[in-house]
Amino acid sequence: MQNGSEKSRLLLIDDDRELGDMLRDFLAPDNIQLQPCVSGEEGLAEHGRLGFDLIILDIMLPGMSGLDVLRKLREKSSVPVIMLTARGDDVDRIIGLEFGADDYLAKPFNPRELLARIKAILRRTHFTPENNGEHVFGSIAMNGSARTVFVNGNPLPLTGTEFELLRCLLETPGVVVSKERLSEQALGRRLLPYDRSIDTHISNLRGKLEKSGSGKESIQNQRGVGYVLTPNARRKTGPS
Amino acid sequence: MRSLLIRFFLSFWLIIGITIGAAAMGGYWYAQNVRDAYESFELGDSILDASAALESAGRDGLAIWLKNFPETRGLKILVLDRSGRDLLGRPIPKILLHQLDRRRHLMPPDGRRRNDPANLMRARPLSQLVGPDGRRYTIVVIPARGGPPARGLILALALLVSASVSILLARTMSRPVQKLRDATRALANGNFDNRVASSIGRRRDELGLLARDFDIMADNLQRSASQQIELSRNISHELRSPLARLRVALALARRKAGDLAEFNRIDEETERLDALIEQILSYTRLDSPAEHPKHLANLNDVIADVVADVNYECRSDGADTKSVVAEFSASIDLPMHVQSMKSAIENILRNAVRHTRSDTRVLVRLAYATRDQVNIVVDDCGAGVDEEHLPKLFEPFFRSRPSSEKEAGSGLGLAIARRAVEIHDGSISASNRVDGGLRITIELPV
């Protein structure tokens, strides 16, 4: 998928230096240049100085925690972030996604899985899909090529993943989109069992839409099926 | 009071002392009363009636007079004939008989020894009458027999005093003991937050010391429990780093050496270790109920979510022929920690799916068992479990039979389920179904 000449530049923030070195070697043949760094402060400084295409961030860092790094990062940058979380720690995972991470991977991860996720996110940011037209639904207006969303004429800042999710739902308003499809379209990967990332992203997106005052339009959950954008704001179920 | 020993000693001493004192004083008071009555008793004008009765009807007339003589408290009037017999045939106290034997006539009590209770038993002659036949009759007064009537009063007083002191004593004991007992129970249930020293006041006796020792013990237990949890978390976290490096190293090796069957094996085993660490982490995390705040949520939704996930997992694992079906006979809202409730149901369902035969379904049902209890019942169509193994099913790392590596879980799934259910004050049990397969029942209070 990558252009032969164009290298993607990634930043890894993880206190395990050896892991960083090995990952750099592992990713190099796929035209991905990984720069490891071992602390949140250093990572933020490096990103401010060089600007990376994607950041891989370990949630458990000594000193400044991964979540703090993420929050700091999101204050000024919408760079895609993949979080590395602890096994079985759903709280970190959900908070991470709520803080604006694009995807997560439980550590220790399968490196091939990491590569697949990196590629999926890079693909999404490097190549805008063909159907990048305009979508208007009630008070929501999306410009696919400019990657902007307006609610009642006011710009709505969204992360890349939230943008893709909204695009998916806007393409077929009133029709239920399965979680599998949302995962493939917005995250660029297959839905995994017990994978709550779509639900978390959707709930973030829903929150942002509601806060921005998008009148009656709302995203509803069809249990066990998927999500649907409807013109009436009646929320059927609680948080899922 | 400083020590229980002193408290008990003084209390019992007080009870016994008061009882003895009351008895002695009561006895003295009674004796004084009776003696006064005895000494001051006079026949007065009745002697004329007696004399007249004797005059007109002889011995029998005197007997009738005596019979009709009004009762006098604590005293008895006797009329003795010459042979020393009472006219009414009443028994004569032995000591009085001695008196009669010795002296053949009656003397007033010895004035110098008034206080000797024995003197009280002496008869005091009141008068002598001579009948028409010349026979002499002596009218005497003696104290009535049968002991002091105040004995009941003394007994009641003793009971009252001893009961009230005992109740006071028992209360100072039982209250702090009850508090200690409650705290001990809470501690046994894994609630390390209870302290008693502050709640039983500033006692300096053994109970106060016991309460402070209890608190120290609770502190230590709490510390060691949290250290243990911290330790297992740290172990799990520290295992992550080498495992993560191992996996990347393996991927690099694969690239250099090509795909070897052994690499796949290493991959599999690493993943297994991974899953195990995840399970240990969730298991230890469930040890601290305080970390699991509860909110009202719909149990049906929670179950439906997990069922959808497990079915999705079946499809993506290629176990297409197995599935989970949910049946709800009520909609139930409960305060719960959704994450751990989900993990309880998820672990039970995954276990059921693992063991149910191909082309069968796992059935999960939610229903009210009683008005204040709901049951979640999960039935599979597997081989079931040997009866003697049923109670052990929820112990960590227990395996009912040496299962093939492929189908084995981590060995913690059902243990996690039990802890998660216990966080919700519920219980979990397993039984074999009549028509084959295992049934797991979660009982939750509503």
User: Cis peptide leading into A108, omega within 30 of 0?
Assistant: yes
**Domain A134-230 annotated CATH 1.10.10.10:** yes
ipTM of the prediction: 0.74
Q: What's the Cα-to-Cα distance from A134 to each of A34, A177, A182, A231, rounded to whole Å?
A: 35, 19, 19, 18
Q: How far is A27 from chain B (nearest CA, A)?
A: 10
Is B244 in contact with A106 (Cβ distance < 8 A)?
A: no
Is B310 in contact with A193 (Cβ distance < 8 A)?
A: yes
Is A240 in contact with B249 (Cβ distance < 8 A)?
A: no
pLDDT digits (tens, 9 = 90+) for A223-240: 778 898 887 655 444 443
Q: Which of A22, A193, A223 sits opposite B245 (nearest CB)?
A: A22
Query: What pLDDT does A31 receive?
Result: 92
Query: What pLDDT does B116 receive?
Result: 43
B202 vs A11, residue with greater confidence: A11
- Residues of chain B found within 8 Å of residue A90, distances taken between Cβ atoms: 339
Distance of alpha carbon B259 from alpha carbon B262, whole angstroms: 8
Considering B143, B161, B179, which residue would you say is the last residue of a domain? B143
In a domain, B301, yes or no: yes
Query: How buried is residue A138: exposed, middle or buried, by Cβ count under 10 Å (0-12/13-18/19+)?
Result: middle
Query: What pLDDT does A46 receive?
Result: 92
The four Cα atoms B230, B232, B235, B238 give a dihedral, to 10 degrees, of: -60
Among the listed residues B86, B50, B85, B81, the one whose alpha carbon sits nearest the alpha carbon of residue B68: B50
Considering B125, B143, B161, which residue would you say is the last residue of a domain? B143
H/E/C letters for each residue in chain A?
CCCCCCCEEEEEECCCHHHHHHHHHHHHHHCEEEEEECCHHHHHHHHHHHCCCEEEEECCCCCCCHHHHHHHHHHHCCCCEEEEEECCCHHHHHHHHHCCCCEEEEECCCHHHHHHHHHHHHHHHHCCCCCCCEEEECCEEEECCCCEEEECCEECCCCHHHHHHHHHHHHCCCCCEEHHHHHHHHHCCCCCCCCCHHHHHHHHHHHHHHHCCCCCCEEEEECCCEEEEECCCCCCCCCC
The answer to whether residues B321 and B358 touch, using CB atoms and an 8 Å cutoff, is yes
Q: Which two tokens stand for residue B360?
A: 């069968």
Confidence of residue A131 (pLDDT cuts 50, 70, 90): low
Residue matched to tokens 């990347």: B248
pLDDT over 90, % of chain A: 25
Kindly state the average pLDDT of the residues A204-209.
Answer: 86
Among the listed residues B215, B273, B279, the one whose alpha carbon sits nearest the alpha carbon of residue B242: B273
Residue matched to tokens 């690499």: B263
Confidence of residue A199 (pLDDT cuts 50, 70, 90): confident
Confidence of residue A44 (pLDDT cuts 50, 70, 90): very high
The answer to whether residues B59 and B135 touch, using CB atoms and an 8 Å cutoff, is yes
In a domain, B370, yes or no: yes
Q: What's the Cα-to-Cα distance from B172 to each of A93, B4, B159, rounded to whole Å?
A: 54, 10, 20
Query: What SS3 state is found at B381?
Result: coil
Q: Where in chain A is the domain with CATH 1.10.10.10?
A: 134-230
Query: How buried is residue A47: exposed, middle or buried, by Cβ count under 10 Å (0-12/13-18/19+)?
Result: buried
In a domain, B374, yes or no: yes
If residue B323 lies in a helix (H) or strand (E), which one and from where to where? strand B323-328
User: Phi/psi at A83 (nearest 5 deg)?
Assistant: -90, 145
Q: Where in chain A is the domain with CATH 3.40.50.2300?
A: 8-126
Distance of alpha carbon A93 from alpha carbon B296, whole angstroms: 22
Kindly state the average pLDDT of the residues A154-168.
Answer: 86
Q: How far is A43 from chain B (nearest CA, A)?
A: 19
Counting the structural domains of chain B, the total is 2
Distance of alpha carbon B399 from alpha carbon B3, whole angstroms: 54
Considering B87, B115, B143, which residue would you say is the last residue of a domain? B143
Query: What pLDDT does A118 receive?
Result: 92
Confidence of residue A187 (pLDDT cuts 50, 70, 90): confident
Residue of chain B nearest A24, judged by CA positions: B248
In a domain, B55, yes or no: yes
Q: Please provide the size of chain B in residues.
A: 446
Confidence of residue A95 (pLDDT cuts 50, 70, 90): confident
Distance of alpha carbon A33 from alpha carbon A46, whole angstroms: 14
Distance of alpha carbon A100 from alpha carbon A66, whole angstroms: 12
Query: What SS3 state is found at B373?
Result: strand
Q: What's the Cα-to-Cα distance from B326 to each of A27, A174, B281, B429, rounded to whole Å?
A: 44, 27, 29, 19
- Residues of chain B found within 8 Å of residue A111, distances taken between Cβ atoms: 247-248, 251
Distance of alpha carbon A62 from alpha carbon A69, whole angstroms: 12
B244-303 residues touching A, CB cutoff 8 A = 244-249, 251-252, 255, 267, 270-271, 274, 277-279, 281-282, 285, 297-298, 301
Q: Measured at the alpha carbon of residue A232, what is the angle toward residues A228 and A236, in degrees to the nearest 5? A: 65
Distance of alpha carbon B96 from alpha carbon B78, whole angstroms: 11
Residue B135's identity, in one-letter code, is: R
Confidence of residue A129 (pLDDT cuts 50, 70, 90): low
A8-126 maps to which CATH number?
3.40.50.2300
Residue of chain B nearest A27, judged by CA positions: B252
Q: What's the Cα-to-Cα distance from A148 to each of A143, A151, B198, rounded to whole Å?
A: 5, 10, 62
The answer to whether residues A107 and A85 touch, using CB atoms and an 8 Å cutoff, is yes
Q: Which domain CATH number covers B322?
A: 3.30.565.10
Among the listed residues A178, A127, B351, the one whose alpha carbon sits nearest the alpha carbon of residue B364: B351
User: Phi/psi at B98 (nearest 5 deg)?
Assistant: -55, -45
Which DSSP symbol is given to B71? Answer: P
In a domain, B50, yes or no: yes
Which residues share a beta bridge with B426? none
Q: Does B347 touch chain A (CB under 8 A)?
A: no
Q: Which domain CATH number covers B97?
A: 3.30.450
In a domain, B251, yes or no: no
**Average confidence score pLDDT of chain A:** 83
Query: What pLDDT does B115 receive?
Result: 42
- Residues of chain B found within 8 Å of residue A93, distances taken between Cβ atoms: none
Distance of alpha carbon B348 from alpha carbon A183, whole angstroms: 27
Among the listed residues A40, A112, A49, the one whose alpha carbon sits nearest the alpha carbon of residue A81: A40
In a domain, B418, yes or no: yes
Q: Does B371 touch chain A (CB under 8 A)?
A: no
Distance of alpha carbon B405 from alpha carbon B318, whole angstroms: 18
Residue of chain A nearest B243, judged by CA positions: A108
Is B339 in contact with A91 (Cβ distance < 8 A)?
A: yes
Distance of alpha carbon B439 from alpha carbon B436, whole angstroms: 9
Count of other CB atoms within 10 angstroms of residue B163: 11
The answer to whether residues A123 and A188 touch, using CB atoms and an 8 Å cutoff, is yes
Residue matched to tokens 């008068």: B127
Distance of alpha carbon B297 from alpha carbon B289, whole angstroms: 18
User: Phi/psi at B388 (nearest 5 deg)?
Assistant: -70, -15
Q: Maximum Cα–Cα distance for chain B, whole Å?
A: 153
In a domain, B241, yes or no: no
If residue B231 lies in a helix (H) or strand (E), which one and from where to where? helix B206-257
Q: Which two tokens stand for residue B191?
A: 């609630």
Query: What SS3 state is found at B286?
Result: coil
Is B247 in contact with A110 (Cβ distance < 8 A)?
A: yes
The parent domain of residue B56 ranges over 41-143
Distance of alpha carbon B34 from alpha carbon B143, whole angstroms: 7
Q: Which of A16, A25, A111 sits opposite B247 (nearest CB)?
A: A111
Which residues share a beta bridge with A35? A11
Q: What's the Cα-to-Cα distance from B118 to each of A119, B31, B80, B122, B149, rounded to whole Å?
A: 120, 11, 21, 7, 18
Which residues share a beta bridge with B376? B366, B442
pLDDT tens track of chain B, all 446 residues? 567 778 788 888 888 888 788 778 877 887 777 778 777 777 777 788 888 888 888 888 888 888 888 777 677 788 888 777 788 888 776 666 666 555 544 444 444 444 444 444 566 777 778 887 778 888 888 776 545 555 677 778 778 888 888 888 888 888 888 888 888 888 877 777 888 888 877 777 888 888 889 899 999 988 888 888 778 777 777 888 888 899 999 999 988 888 888 888 888 888 888 888 888 878 887 876 667 788 899 999 999 989 988 888 888 777 678 899 999 998 999 999 888 899 999 999 999 998 898 889 999 999 999 989 999 999 999 888 888 888 888 988 887 665 554 456 678 899 999 999 998 989 999 999 988 899 999 999 98
